[in-house]
Amino acid sequence: MEQYSNILKYKHLGIYTQNENVVYMREDCHVCISEGFEALTRIRVSMANRSIIASLNVINSEILLPNEIGLSDAAAKKLKVKENETLYVSHLEPIESLSYVRAKIYNQKLNYNAYNQIVSDIVEGDYSNIHLSAFITACAGDRMDINEISDLTKAMIASGQQLNWNKEIVVDKHCIGGLPGNRTTPLVVAIVAAYGLTMPKTSSRAITSPAGTADTMEVLTNVTLSADEIEHVVKQEGGCFVWGGTAQLSPADDVLIKIEKALDIDSEGQLIASVLSKKAAAGSTHVVIDIPVGETAKVRSMEMAQKLQNHMETVGNSVGLNVKVVITDGSQPVGNGIGPTLEAMDILKVLKNEERAPIDLKERVVLLAGELLELSGKVASGAGRQTALQLLESGKAYEKFLAICKAQGRFTRPVLAPYKTEIRAETSGILKRIDNRKIAKLAKLSGAPQSKSAGILLNVHLNDSVEKDQLLYTLYAESQGELHYALEYKNNHNDIITII
Amino acid sequence: MEQYSNILKYKHLGIYTQNENVVYMREDCHVCISEGFEALTRIRVSMANRSIIASLNVINSEILLPNEIGLSDAAAKKLKVKENETLYVSHLEPIESLSYVRAKIYNQKLNYNAYNQIVSDIVEGDYSNIHLSAFITACAGDRMDINEISDLTKAMIASGQQLNWNKEIVVDKHCIGGLPGNRTTPLVVAIVAAYGLTMPKTSSRAITSPAGTADTMEVLTNVTLSADEIEHVVKQEGGCFVWGGTAQLSPADDVLIKIEKALDIDSEGQLIASVLSKKAAAGSTHVVIDIPVGETAKVRSMEMAQKLQNHMETVGNSVGLNVKVVITDGSQPVGNGIGPTLEAMDILKVLKNEERAPIDLKERVVLLAGELLELSGKVASGAGRQTALQLLESGKAYEKFLAICKAQGRFTRPVLAPYKTEIRAETSGILKRIDNRKIAKLAKLSGAPQSKSAGILLNVHLNDSVEKDQLLYTLYAESQGELHYALEYKNNHNDIITII
């Protein structure tokens, strides 16, 4: 190969494509002509000591000169290339792990080695969005058995950093989403850390929901911390609430989650691998997992919940985690707020024991914190709930919460969004049903979680007696456009809240 | 919604992304700020009377001004927008058919209505590559039953133009690929049209092989004809060999095939729907389908071939096609050439009854043409092969072939590639095995089908007695880089041709 002719000069184009590596070259550049590349071909782009694989987009305008090459921001960041530096492009050697993806598409079982190679290549950025989507789809819909889920989980743990806290017991909790407003995690951390246990909590951002724990906590404090910073916070306070992404714990998960979001799916195998790989990589030993069950929750039946419980506990054991699954009521949103800022406000009300604090949120928190205290073996069986309640009502949990926020860099009080509309009851009656999926969608259309203060503040709950014109909920948005769009959806769906 | 603020001025960026609609906007443009878009969000881009859905890439450089908007070439072509024209962007209403894709991911059966909506949205360009890849994967690996394959086929037929030749009998043939060099189609067209039947042949380009019929025929004549031009050629000559893409027959197929190519898969349901939708939309009534079976062919066992035969014939009937499947030997490449130009040369040798014409190719051609003549009911059962042979050996088929090429706009003699390397036997012995997949990959790495004259010219066949240093095959390429890359693959794989 005439390597000389494959040299091009890097030009910053500033195109942000999220994770995908895209390379831009002129159709009349010497490399395109001599090598015969075509658009969407995958090629290798190299510097002296680093290289990436990228999808080619062909340029036929003046934004590049024939001897120049551009990269998407993600690709440029991975290569650490600077303006005018020299890049070398070459044909892509076959990505061997794609043969495993094809085998999975054709319903074959994969072993640890296969998942490990796939996950490594994903972390390297070698997979295009087309490949990632095929891998996720091929693994969805019950197509992974329990051994495969274990192997994928192990591969995901091995793909990134693994923390070691040098503690015998490191606790954690996780909620299988789908229940709007169910923001128990930061409260459980505060209680358990106040008790004296170690709980270095890493959370994801929202996949398909209006807020993830990381989105909500970002309203109150910094959640993007380095591994060193997290270690410091946990050593000092016993707990933290940070985003798991930058810590490079299970980095494949962060790539896969964005594709799952685009597809709006969250399959069992990927879900278990995602949750447990983050827990194990974070150095946890004892984990309580909350599965809310309800008609419109993520898990809709007891049968599904029990299957997930069984799989979670089995896979947990196989990767060295002591997992306890708690199945809870998922028939309606938890708390009053849906959306990062509004949920952060609920959290503070519970911590401060305010009269208007949402009781349902508080009840869940003491249940889960109690289970965790018992699972750790430090609190006697049956005494967990009461211990948790005391830590909350005494103000010790609030004190710990503020201390952790400050250790993470700041404590900021939440502020409501500038645009709002009140939605009132059109008839009197009993509130018989809240559609979790539709109310979550409404919150998302209002801008959550990207717009932190967007979302919904509920004034009613299931089985409430409601008068005509009574306030049901307030829609918040950060722009008129988003408020308008959410209202349009609301006006086209009269079954978000059902009053009979 | 403040529509005023959503207006941007179109600027041509000249970015070719193949089919995918991408929209480029500045991160600091008023629309991004006021609407809160994030990268990879899917948005609607509209003109006065047309609109498309596109994936957003966010620009943070001077290639766009804050009040400007760019589009990928595919998106700009669909919108027919010109420099400085005004575009309006808005939030994307949910794409309803994606709920069917999700249902399919979760192993549910879909009905005609579901496939129809999916296919319509695909043709509209509403699906991102992530969505397309998920749909293809969810349908692969035996996940569609026979009714679903029928429904997908019907939906694909309905999605585009449907030709009507006003003839009682319109014949066609198709070969289920995987056998390098198996270029029987143009020869069958020439024979059958010389007999007087109507055979308006539309073919695909290569999906995962080094040449499709359309790629090969493009060496000899124009294959990109409008529906009107095809009609004219067929009225005049009784047959044609054109690419099915521009004719807008089953246009969803052309989109899906590019994603299948990126994934390097070709699943049963999509395969049947792809083949039969093209045939039905092209107005065929009687179709012979050749399924070569061999260890390294696309179909590897008689069991698979018979299942495919059964499904092809059943789905064919359900869409009004009289389908006959012929199962043939697929143990080695057919003819001597692999790659568009080299296969075109084989075709001409057979037509001209040259002494060095590949006998195996000729045998297949008279078999398939014979079956087609019999299926049409015009030639008595058992007399098809002999009739075909006479038309070929009398020169009538060659005459017809040249006439069709000229009617399609040109007849060009094929020319060999400038770079070549001869591969010789390292030992004496019997040629026991040719790996179809690896030899096809070798031809692809040499540049085929994009580089038309690239590929492989075989000098040996299965069971030949071979001397040390005897010429096995010649590798052709249009660039040194491609020749080098193919040789590298060859040197790393010593089981492409096995001599014992």
- The pLDDT tens digits of the residues spanning A389-444 come to 999 999 999 999 999 999 999 999 999 999 999 999 999 999 999 988 889 889 98
Which tokens hold the place of B411?
Answer: 């007849």
- pLDDT surpassing 60 at residue B2: no
What is the band of A257 on the pLDDT scale with cuts at 50, 70, 90? confident
Window A:229-288, CB contacts with B under 8 Å: 258-259, 262-265, 267
Name residues whose C-beta falls within 8 Å of residue B4's C-beta, 6 or more positions apart in sequence. Answer: none
**pLDDT score recorded for residue A148:** 97
Of the two residues B405 and A450, the one the predictor is more confident about is B405
Do B16 and A57 count as a contact with CB atoms less than 8 A apart?
yes
Interface contact A103, partner B, CB < 8 A: no
Is the per-residue pLDDT at A334 higher than 90?
Answer: no
- Report the pLDDT value the prediction gives residue A333, as an integer from 0 to 100: 81
Q: Which residues of A180-212 are buried (b: 16+ CB within 10 A; e: fewer)?
A: bbbbbbbbbbbbbbbbebbbbbbbbbbbbbbbb
User: pLDDT at residue A40 above 70?
Assistant: no
Q: Which two tokens stand for residue B126?
A: 């509403």
Structure tokens at A321: 């985690």
Over residues B416-431, mean pLDDT? 95
Query: Is B17–A40 a contact, with Cβ atoms under 8 angstroms apart?
Result: yes
- Does residue B395 carry a pLDDT above 90? yes
Predicted confidence at residue A3, as pLDDT, reads: 42
Burial class (CB in 10 A: 0-12, 13-18, 19+), B306: middle
Q: Chain A: nearest CA to B99, how far in angstroms?
A: 9
**Cα A200 to chain center, whole Å?**
16
Residue whose structure tokens are 């070569």: B292
Whether residue A41 has pLDDT greater than 50: yes
Subunit contact B39:A58, Cβ cutoff 8 A:
no
Q: Does B129 touch chain A (CB under 8 A)?
A: yes
Structure-model confidence comparison of residues A264 and A287, the more confident one: A287
> Cα separation of A114 and A120, whole Å?
10
A432 neighbors A500 (Cβ within 8 angstroms): yes
pLDDT band at A2 (very low <50, low <70, confident <90, very high): very low
pLDDT tens digits along A117-153: 999 999 988 899 999 999 999 999 889 999 999 999 9
pLDDT of residue B466: 95
pLDDT at B379 over 70: yes
The pLDDT value given to residue B485: 83
- What is the structure's pLDDT at A413? 96
- Judging contacts by C-beta atoms under 8 Å, the chain B residues touching residue A453 are none
**Residue-range domains of chain B with CATH:** 3-91 (2.40.40.20), 98-158 (1.20.970.10), 171-247+282-407 (3.40.1030.10), 419-499 (3.90.1170.30)
Question: Which of B17, B34, B259 minimises the CB distance to A39?
Answer: B17
* Number of neighbours of residue B427 by Cβ within 10 angstroms: 10
Give me the DSSP letters along A367-378: HHHHHHHHHTTS
Q: Is A485 on the interface with B (CB under 8 A)?
A: yes
Q: How far is CA B394 from the centre of its chain?
A: 32
Strands across the sheet with A286-293, in order? Answer: A171-175, A286-293, A322-329
Residue type, B424: R
Handedness of CA A448, A452, A458, A461 (dihedral sign): positive
Helix (H, G, I), strand (E, B) or coil at B480: helix
A175: three-class secondary structure by DSSP: strand
Among A266-275, A321-330, B453-462, the range scoring the smallest mean pLDDT is: A266-275
Going by pLDDT thresholds of 50, 70 and 90, the confidence category of residue B203 is confident
pLDDT digits (tens, 9 = 90+) for B268-321: 899 999 999 989 998 999 999 999 998 878 888 999 999 999 999 999 999 999
Report chain A residues whose CB lies below 8 A from the CB of B18.
39-40
On the question of pLDDT at A4 being above 50, the answer is: no
* φ, ψ (nearest 5 deg) of residue A345: -65, -40
Q: How far apart are CA B316 and CA B312, in angstroms?
A: 6
Question: What pLDDT score was predicted for residue B26?
Answer: 92
3 state SS of A247? coil
Residue pair B90/B1 in contact (Cβ under 8 Å)? The answer is: yes
pLDDT in tens, B85-112: 999 998 787 789 999 999 999 999 999 9
Residues A422/A428/A432/A434 CA torsion (nearest 10 deg): -10
Catalytic-labelled residue, pool A121, A151, A266, A346: A266
- Residue in B194, B193, B283 with CA at minimum distance from that of residue B239: B193
Q: Is B374 helix (H, G, I), strand (E, B) or coil?
A: helix
Core vs surface per residue B163-197: b (16+ CB within 10 A) or e: bebeeebbbbbbbbbbbbbbbbbbbbbbbbbbbeb
pLDDT at A249 over 60: yes
pLDDT in tens, B329-343: 988 888 899 999 999
pLDDT score at B1: 38
Residue in the block written with tokens 């900021």 = A412
For residues A275 and A3, which has the higher predicted lDDT (pLDDT)? A275
- Residues in chain B with CB shorter than 8 Å from the CB of A264 are 98, 102
Contact B480 A2 (CB under 8 A): yes
Interface check for B418 against chain A (CB to CB < 8 A): the answer is no
C-beta neighbour count of B379 within 10 angstroms: 21
pLDDT of residue A33: 67
Distance CA A142, CA A270 (A): 10
Kindly report the average pLDDT of chain B as a whole number.
91
- Do the beta carbons of residue A143 and residue A152 sit within 8 Å? no
Per-position DSSP letters for A278-305, written without gaps between them: HHHHTT-SEEEEEEEE-TTSSB-SHHHH
- What b/e string do you get for B105-125 counting C-beta neighbours within 10 Å, with b at 16 or more? beeeebeeebbbbbbebbbbb
CA dist A13 → A82, B39, B55, B71 (Å) = 12, 15, 18, 15
Amino acid at the residue B214: A
Work out the minimum CA distance from A397 to partner chain B, whole angstroms.
36
Nearest to B499 by CA among B453, B467, B475, B459: B467
Whether omega for the bond prior to residue A449 falls within 30 degrees of 0, making it cis, is: yes
> Is the distance from CB of B355 to CB of B381 less than 8 angstroms?
no
Q: Under the phi-then-psi rule, with left for phi > 0, alpha for psi from -120 to 50, and beta for the rest, what region is A195?
A: alpha
User: Are A287 and A324 spatial neighbours (Cβ–Cβ below 8 Å)?
Assistant: yes
Alpha-carbon distance of B141 to B105, in angstroms, equals: 12
| Share above pLDDT 70 across residues of chain A, in percent, rounded to a whole number | 96
Q: In what order do the strands lie in the sheet with B455-458?
A: B337-338, B455-458, B471-477, B419-424
A150, amino acid identity: S
Query: Both tokens of residue A11?
Result: 């030009």
CB contact under 8 A, B16 and A58: yes
- Which among A101, A109, A96 is positioned nearest to A138, based on CA atoms? A101
8 Å CB contact between A59 and A70: yes
Mean pLDDT across B202-209: 79
Task: List the structure tokens of B340.
Answer: 């568009």
Task: Nearest by CB to B129, from A13, A129, A138: name it.
Answer: A129
Question: What are the structure tokens assigned to A246, written together?
Answer: 């930058």
Q: Give me the active site residues of B, please.
A: 266
Hey, what are A369's tokens?
Answer: 């914190």
Q: Any residues with CB less than 8 A from the CB of B491 and at least 6 apart, and which? A: none
How far is it, in rounded angstroms, from Cα B387 to Cα A480?
A: 75
Cβ neighbours of residue A276 closer than 8 Å, sequence gap 6 or more: A153, A287, A312, A315, A316, A319, A321, A323
Instruction: Read off the pLDDT of each residue in B47-58 and give the average, rounded to a whole number.
Output: 90
Q: Which of residues 378-397 of A touch B (CB under 8 A)?
A: none
For the segment A283-306, the average pLDDT, to the nearest whole number, is: 91
Cβ atoms of A456 and A441 within 8 Å: the answer is no
Q: How does residue B220 score in pLDDT terms, banded at 50, 70 and 90?
A: very high
Q: Quick one: tokens of A316?
A: 């947990």
Residue B3 pLDDT > 60: no
3 state DSSP class of B248? coil
Task: List CB contacts (< 8 A) between B271 and chain A.
Answer: none
B97: closest chain A residue by CA: A263
Query: Which range, of A4-13, A353-362, A415-424, B175-184, averages the lowest pLDDT?
Result: B175-184
A268/A228 Cα distance (integer angstroms): 32
CA distance B386 to chain A (A): 42
Alpha-carbon span A132 to B150, nearest angstrom: 29
pLDDT classification of A197: cutoffs 50, 70, 90? very high
User: What is the length of chain B?
Assistant: 500
Out of A97-111, A173-187, A399-413, B414-428, least confident range: A173-187
Write down the pLDDT at residue A27: 85
Please enumerate in sequence order all residues whose Cβ is within 8 A of that of A312, keeping only pairs 6 or more positions apart, or say none: A272, A275, A276, A289, A323, A325
What crossing angle do the helices spanning B98-105 and A251-263 adopt, rounded to 10°?
130
pLDDT at B4: 42
Point out the residue among A91, A128, A138 whose CB comes nearest to the CB of B137.
A138
CA angle at residue B240 from B234 to B242, to 5 degrees? Answer: 125
User: Looking at residue B247, what is its pLDDT?
Assistant: 64
Q: What is the pLDDT of residue B39?
A: 59
* Chain A contact probe: residue of B263, B452, B479, B485 with most A CBs at under 10 A: B263
pLDDT at position B392: 97
Cα separation, A287 vs A266, whole angstroms: 21
A126 is catalytic: no
Strands A337-338 vs A239-243: parallel, antiparallel or unpaired = unpaired
Q: Which of A35, A136, A485 has its CB closest to that of B91?
A: A485
The answer to whether B229 touches B99, Cβ cutoff 8 Å, is: no
